Amino acid sequence: MRLARAIVLLGVSAALIAQQVDPTELLVHAAQLLADRAKRLPDYTCVQTVDRLYFKRRRHTYVPRSCDQILSLDPHTLAVESTDRLRLDLKVSQGLEVGSWVGLPFTQRNIFEMVGGGPYGTGMLGAFISDIFSAGGATYTYAGLEKQSDRTVAVFRFQVPASASHYQVKAGANWVATAYSGSFWLDPKTAELHRLEVQTHDLPPETDACEAVTTVDYEKSRVGTGEFLLPSRSSLLMVMQDESETESTAVYAGCHEYHGESTIHFDQVPGSVAPAKDASPAAPLPPGLTFTLAFTAPIDTDTAAAGDVIAAKLRHPIRDPKSKAALAPAGAHVTGRIVQLQHWLSEPWRFKVSIMLESVEFGGQSRPLYAKIVRIPSMLESIAVPPPGQPAWVAAFLFPTEKKRYRVPAGYESTWITIEAPDKRP
């Protein structure tokens, strides 16, 4: 177990020994406080932004190592190979998390499939708290008081066996529960939870991972008419069996009570009449129509994330190939979504921005838009493929650069061709 990454062993300074804390009473108080809030907490949503780092060994020996050997390696021999960023809406209901791209309705789609691979963890918004404080399967030890920069906290260690765990890890095609342990930090006066660290135990070989360490910082937030303890920041470190590592940092913002779905319309013409709620959805454009788009706003890799909506407009009308009638006018508003934004920091240096089109809007009506990029690569030109888990018609754009930041400019043009709606495919 690498000391720099493992749960820190904590001492008690002489200045703190004089402070009297009944650990049992404090732990019971904290558990009751969390349980009471969980009962009153309404369904709520937060915007989660996740920055992910992918590390590789600078020198790889290609000699198979055990997980114990890998966890003892010097972390300074790692180098960042690539980065990416996600932005999601998360809905929490009775401790269960459901995710969607920002602004889209929540569905039952698996959030891990939606983000297209890479490290991602759930449980920060509910499941960990239930396992550790409410379910009754955890065991505890008291580690004393710790002086931090702005507070004194009481430190507890805990263990949750696999039989009482809701921590699920992907093992091949299956999800299995894993045992875990860690520490949590409580305010000795108020019993408020400040921080939680979770470390997995004995991950199955099918996970391709040796260890996962999660850290969550909590703050009070107002949801509805009450004030509740919610995550403000979390991190997930994963050490893999191939000696690579990933580190994800998530921040949570805009948390508020969930009141059902809403629909956003872009560029609504003043005075126009929106379609009635019970009207049949507009049919997508027929397949086989070629068109050119121009972005109406830049994509800045310093701030953009997978999940963000992008805006574009038609450079020319989309016409029926037989009648030549305009099916969509020039200037019509097109919306799409970034489904991957990745940056490689080693040769060949590049940014990859993958985009899926969603709709074209004109005349006060929005129509679904299914299309793929038209690309005729020259010999030896790099071919950009969609990210794992995303449909084949997602367009992947490569921007070679050694710079740490890239701005896809407003006005950037690309040519597309409409395809059949997915539900009509064989």
Q: Where do the domains of the chain lie?
A: 14-257, 290-424
What does CATH list as the number for 14-257? 2.50.20
The pLDDT of residue 263 is: 39
Distance in angstroms between the alpha carbons of the first and the last residue of the chain: 50
Contacts made by residues 324-330, CB under 8 angstroms, sequence distance 24+: 327/285, 327/286, 327/289, 328/285, 328/291, 328/360, 328/362, 328/367, 329/362
The pLDDT of residue 280 is: 54
Assign 3-state DSSP to the chain and report helix, strand, coil percentages, each to 5.
Answer: 10, 45, 45
* Separation of alpha carbons 352 and 70, rounded Å: 30
Q: Tell me the chain's radius of gyration from C-alpha atoms.
A: 25
- Look-up: residue for tokens 């691979």? 117
Counted residue by residue, the chain has a size of 426
The pLDDT of residue 16 is: 42
> Is residue 306 a contact partner of residue 86, using CB atoms and an 8 Å limit?
yes
The pLDDT of residue 84 is: 95
207 closest CA partner among 246, 161, 163: 246
- DSSP label at 403? S
pLDDT digits (tens, 9 = 90+) for 399-420: 999 999 999 999 999 999 999 9
307 closest CA partner among 47, 123, 133, 67: 47
Q: Could you tell me the pTM of the whole model?
A: 0.82
10 closest CA partner among 168, 186, 189: 186
The amino acid at 251: V
Same fold, 14-257 and 290-424: no
pLDDT in single tens digits along all 426 residues of the chain: 443 343 333 443 434 444 578 999 999 999 999 888 888 888 889 999 999 999 998 877 778 889 999 999 998 899 999 999 999 998 888 767 888 898 888 877 777 777 777 778 776 666 788 889 987 889 999 999 999 888 899 999 999 998 888 888 888 778 888 899 999 999 999 999 999 999 998 888 888 999 999 999 999 888 888 888 888 999 999 999 999 999 999 999 999 898 875 433 333 333 333 344 444 568 889 999 999 999 999 999 999 999 999 999 999 999 988 888 899 999 999 999 999 999 999 888 999 999 999 999 998 899 999 999 997 655 555 667 777 778 889 999 999 999 999 999 999 999 999 999 887 543
> Is residue 204 a contact partner of residue 227, using CB atoms and an 8 Å limit?
no
- Look-up: residue for tokens 């305009």? 326
The pLDDT of residue 272 is: 32
Q: 290-424, which class in CATH?
A: mainly beta
* Separation of alpha carbons 84 and 404, rounded Å: 12
> Is residue 91 a contact partner of residue 105, using CB atoms and an 8 Å limit?
no
The helix (H) or strand (E) run that includes residue 154 is strand 152-160
172 closest CA partner among 205, 150, 147: 205
